Structure 1
């Protein structure tokens, strides 16, 4: 059974540790490292609270279904179920499609009112799609740099090969994701140690400017977030027991902590190797007598590059003895983005399956049930293919826009989801849902924090909209 918690940990890491860490160092070009650290740690604390909130909501979802089932079943069926152990009885119910596995569509239907569950569905799907677009762009760029093939030739292969794996081998790739996540964590750990050797004296003329402390705000939310989207289908494997649910919650939180530490170390590594700004003195190549393009965080941000690109160029140009580091970084980027794309693709496909499941009527006969299952699989696969096609088309049309996609769209949809999670928690604690017993309730000391998280995420929505509008009105000033 411990393998479930280990898998939960690795899948959480795979989901969180993605393109956010590739774009986050670019936001340090004006503010510097210490303002970033303050913003990032605030976002991290908010995500810890959201994970705890989500665990309670998932428990309430299961408990309410069991309660409603017991009220509907007649006495004879109920006594038959009671002859089994609690877990066996619940397994029988699940096989009969009575207790549905948790997903955000189901949670929205149970805990949100006035049509807000449609907004929840839209925010979840939008976030997953936009993040997968950024993964497709960053992953294809990493493969392009390594293989020396044009980016537009890499994108179709990257997207569609992984799409087929996600849709048709979703039950078999989680173990692969866990192994590759462990490997990419080791590679990233090796990468962040590089500054100790490459630039032990620290970067010259580093600037910490708190006037630009808002720059890393949106990407800090993206980089620490993402774990919520895989929590429902991971929770479906956990037994309804307080100790087991506690281990599940700890596994998710440990994955979040691991990613936070690795992201901070990664930003520190890039920041102390790659200059914040280009030097005003233009260097010239003595053999070709041509200007050498300066590699800096500012220039990479303007060109829509991932942060590993200027890092690798600086190492190759100024520290040729550490060329092996560039290779390690390239391998890490490729594995990291590939795994994250599959993880988010799995979450997207799982969400679509949950929506399709809710739209099919219940069947009584076994033959009808089989036909229904085949129809659900075909419908879910077809819809998933449509979304992967959308991801592919947008990636092809905007091959250098991964940073804009994350800042302008992914953060907005994630903050909307975070607000709705807070609302679901508040709704689950009132009226008929208040007295439902769950194995691991939310500590009373954390209940007031719901309103602080709600305020923080609401501000994130407003700021994200402001940045998006200003980007299109005054693109040169953002």
Structure 2
């Protein structure tokens, strides 16, 4: 498919921009606020901004790598004899793995230095995909390991979206999310596998709606947060809890890159579109996390303190009677993390309970989450389908590499289509099975499996690709938009940063296994004297019971509460309210 005309070209760049947003605003919007129960706002800002700059640097390198993947296929297909000493403008027929297979993407641009090819001898070149990158720039063994970790990463992300999406739908319609998982997963899966062309257009439109909803939702919710002014605790010892949840935007870049013309100006605009999408998401994520922290208590102890104060205000000031209430801190970020909930669950509950005149804001948040998760599932699902199709294409279409077989490339065999469909459906079936077996595993999967695979992908495999793509037989490849030399030296910063995150993930997971902290605080509050002149006591015990609903509301209270992991110190303690 040749990209012609200003309108078509603008649409391609807008699509790259919105797909980038859809990729990053998935788990970040849902999971980051929950993990901030430990770190707070300021430590999050420090690590998140550092992570954003590293991701931006990674995008620069990956654009370079995608160009090299196109050019390197000439050499890979046996054109090493072409001398690299003169620029050649030629058309490269790129085999696209779109569902219909009706057309090829046409890249035009400076490809290699060498003598003129016969005009009819147009080499067949695959569109870049993650599998192809591994095959070209990683050796045997590493390439297969890269395929495995990419597929595992996509599946883990899709499991998170399946769980989060079902929770959002279930909260809106009032049923348990376990029964929503099958409908959510399979409706979107069938759309990805059998209506991919339609999905690519719909995702851009829905992402625009998603971004608009987020801006409106964040603005209104932030206004509500200013009226609540929840106290935020900052702990720099937990600052790395947010950095391990950054989304690797490069995973969706191959299937948006295939749509642009292979020329310097067009690639430069594409690069700018992806960078703009990345930094838009950084800003939106910061605003959203700040908003949630302004409304939702970080810890169970904080929420129970607030509820105890509200309970005290409701005691009859003229009667001496004892009232007892068990506080479990359901509407806190810490509780949401323990239960595997997305951050909007406690947020919408608090808005409906404490601010009934802002019920419409809670509904707006729920609608935003529904659109957001659906778009993210479609985006990552498309990337998974694109990668699996690339693997199938590499296995089956080897005979179509020569120019004499170009007519055969345009006609996809029924067997190839069936194989791509079956493999993709099998991968999505695994997503469905895991989601059904662990319907409350959103945070665990996000914090451990997704984070580990994302960081390992960049810290090891993509770093090696970037190094190997400029060495050996690939040293003299000419591309339209190479990375500036002063930036190229920063490539060695990538393994330091992302491998540190890998080791942090391993350490954090190991410590959580050795020293499990899956406890809930159960506070029995007894009011036995006349308020407001007298005091009351709160007796804290450690339980592992399930959290139940509560209708008690609360405000701030002065008192001393220990942090998670030291809750036994609360036992039989007395807290004096102001």
Q: Normalising by structure 1, report the TM-score.
A: 0.91
Q: Output aligned runs, 1:115-264, within 5 Å.
A: 115-200=141-226, 203-219=229-245, 221=246, 225-264=247-286
Does the alignment pair 1:325 with 2:361? yes
| Distance in 1 separating the partners of 2:222 and 2:506 | 39
| Distance in 1 separating the partners of 2:205 and 2:451 | 29
More displaced 10-residue stretch of structure 1: 230-239 or 107-116: 107-116
Q: Output aligned runs, 1:277-292, within 5 Å.
A: 277=299, 278-280=303-305, 282=308, 291=326
Does the alignment pair 1:448 with 2:473? no
- Matched length: 465
SS at structure 2 position matched to 1:99: strand
Alignment check: 8 A CA contact 2:165 2:373 kept = yes
Task: Please point out which of 101, 107, 112 is paired with 2:133.
Answer: 107
Bigger radius of gyration, 1 or 2? 2
Residue of structure 2 equivalent to 1:267: 289
* TM-fit CA distance, 1:251: 0.7
Alignment check: 8 A CA contact 1:53 1:421 kept = no
| Distance in 1 separating the partners of 2:354 and 2:333 | 16
Residue of structure 2 equivalent to 1:476: 517
| Distance in 1 separating the partners of 2:67 and 2:192 | 27
User: For 1:26-79, what per-residue CA distance to the aligned partner results, in whole angstroms no more than 9, with x for missing partners?
Assistant: 1111221000100111111111111111100000111122355582799xxxxx
| Distance in 2 separating the partners of 1:150 and 1:208 | 34
* TM-fit CA distance, 1:242: 0.6
Does the alignment pair 1:388 with 2:428? yes
> Unaligned 5+ residue runs, structure 2?
1-8, 83-87, 96-102, 107-121, 316-322, 519-564, 566-578
Does the alignment pair 1:342 with 2:382? no
User: For 1:167-202, what per-residue CA distance to the aligned partner results, in whole angstroms no more than 9, with x for missing partners?
Assistant: 011111111111111111111111211354313256
Residues 28, 55 of structure 1: CA spacing in aligned structure 2 closer, same or farther, 3 A cutoff? same
* TM-fit CA distance, 1:298: 1.4
> Unaligned 5+ residue runs, structure 1?
75-81
Does the alignment pair 1:300 with 2:336? yes
Alignment check: 8 A CA contact 2:399 2:405 kept = no
Residue of structure 2 equivalent to 1:78: none
Greater relative contact order (Cα < 8 A, sep 6+): 1
More displaced 10-residue stretch of structure 1: 142-151 or 361-370: 361-370
* TM-fit CA distance, 1:290: 6.0
Alignment check: 8 A CA contact 1:184 1:336 kept = yes
Task: Please point out which of 462, 470, 482 is paired with 1:421.
Answer: 462
Higher helix content, 1 or 2: 1
Does the alignment pair 1:375 with 2:411? no
User: For 1:376-435, what per-residue CA distance to the aligned partner results, in whole angstroms no more than 9, with x for missing partners?
Assistant: 111011011111110001000111111110111011111121121121111112122121
* TM-fit CA distance, 1:149: 2.0
Does the alignment pair 1:71 with 2:71? no
More displaced 10-residue stretch of structure 1: 341-350 or 462-471: 462-471
Q: Output aligned runs, 1:14-93, within 5 Å.
A: 14-67=22-75, 71=79, 86-87=90-91
SS at structure 2 position matched to 1:237: coil
Does the alignment pair 1:397 with 2:422? no
SS at structure 2 position matched to 1:200: helix
Residues 216, 431 of structure 1: CA spacing in aligned structure 2 closer, same or farther, 3 A cutoff? same
| Distance in 1 separating the partners of 2:240 and 2:75 | 46
| Distance in 1 separating the partners of 2:408 and 2:65 | 32
SS at structure 1 position matched to 2:232: coil
| Distance in 2 separating the partners of 1:308 and 1:122 | 32
Alignment check: 8 A CA contact 1:353 1:376 kept = no
Task: Please point out which of 344, 347, 358 is paired with 1:311.
Answer: 347
SS at structure 2 position matched to 1:171: helix
SS at structure 2 position matched to 1:460: helix
SS at structure 1 position matched to 2:197: coil
Residues 439, 366 of structure 1: CA spacing in aligned structure 2 closer, same or farther, 3 A cutoff? closer
User: For 1:225-276, what per-residue CA distance to the aligned partner results, in whole angstroms no more than 9, with x for missing partners?
Assistant: 2321111111111111111000011111111111111111000000001111
| Distance in 2 separating the partners of 1:99 and 1:25 | 44
| Distance in 1 separating the partners of 2:80 and 2:124 | 11
Q: Normalising by structure 2, report the TM-score.
A: 0.76
Alignment check: 8 A CA contact 2:231 2:294 kept = no
* TM-fit CA distance, 1:163: 0.6
| Distance in 1 separating the partners of 2:444 and 2:143 | 27
SS at structure 2 position matched to 1:214: helix
